[in-house]
Amino acid sequence: MTILHIDSSILGGYSVSRTLSAEIVARLTSERPDAQVAYRDLAASPVPHLSGAYLTALQSTEGQHAPDLRADLALGATLLDEFLAADTVVIGFALYNFGMPTQLKAWFDRILINGRTFRYTAEGQVEGLAGDKRVILAVARGGFYASGSPMAPMEHAETHVRTALGFVGINPEVISAEGIAVGPAQREQALAAATTQIAALAA
């Protein structure tokens, strides 16, 4: 089994999503010690945001590009290959100002590629091409944004990630910790609840 472990929090050792994603990977490897884990820290090594030159180069057969663009194209190919090669993907992220971290959005922009992870049918419908993967999300939120909460309509991180994954044929599993900025007691309670969910994950 190959696991791709992705973190995107900018908080380092203070990050709840990093704690949860690490626990998820530990849970998965506890029963599969032969699993190979590839790790990518999108905060420590950010993926460049999309540019018009990058998108144009993806659609061009011409091989002459500026060095910076060649490096960007090579990174995009590596990110896509990592994703396609993984049996399981674990993604840690937090809700930042109602959305996912921009570092994670930049990663998704290199993963959602027509003809590789999705395609359009002759009728114009979308067909996901990556539905054979297991994806587990480790989500941290400072307030209470879960479904049914008055603030749920403001949650555009998990919902965006679910949409992006659904586009390529994946229905993710989600482990979340809510209200971690409310106070120390709530933070500990949220972490404990998430840890219980992780322990129950099928490895």
pLDDT (tens digit per residue) in 127-170: 999 999 999 999 999 999 988 899 999 999 999 999 999 999 99
pLDDT-derived band at 65 (thresholds 50, 70, 90) equals confident
- Give the residue ranges of the annotated binding site for FMN: 9, 15-17
What is the mean predicted confidence (pLDDT) over 178-199? 96
d(CA 101, CA 42): 10
Contacts of 51 (CB under 8 A, 6+ apart): 72
Sheet with strand 36-41: strands edge to edge: 36-41, 2-7, 88-94, 134-140, 173-177
What is the residue-wise DSSP string for 109-139? HHH--BTTTEEE-TTS-EEES-TT-EEEEEE
Q: Which long-range contacts (CB under 8 A, 24 or more apart) does 96-100 make?
A: 96/157, 98/154, 98/155, 98/156, 98/157, 99/156, 99/157, 99/160, 100/8, 100/156, 100/157, 100/160, 100/161
Give the per-residue pLDDT at 147: 85
Residues 64, 65, 70: CA angle, nearest 5 degrees: 120
At residue 60, does pLDDT exceed 80?
A: no
Q: Which residues are annotated as a binding site?
A: 9, 15-17
Write out pLDDT tens, residues 1-33. 999 999 999 999 999 999 999 999 999 999 899
Q: Can you give the pLDDT at residue 197?
A: 97
62 pLDDT higher than 70: no
Residue 184, pLDDT > 80, answer yes
Q: Which helix (H) or strand (E) holds 41?
A: strand 36-41
Predicted local confidence at residue 61, as pLDDT? 63
**Separation between Cα atoms, residue 104 and residue 144, nearest integer Å:** 22
Convert the pLDDT of each residue in 84-122 to its tens digit.
999 999 999 999 999 999 999 999 999 999 999 999 999
User: Helix or strand or coil: residue 165?
Assistant: helix
pLDDT above 80 (res 63): no
**Does domain 2-199 fall into CATH 3.40.50.360?**
yes
Q: Provide the sign of the torsion angle of the four alpha carbons 102, 15, 164, 56, taken in this order.
A: positive
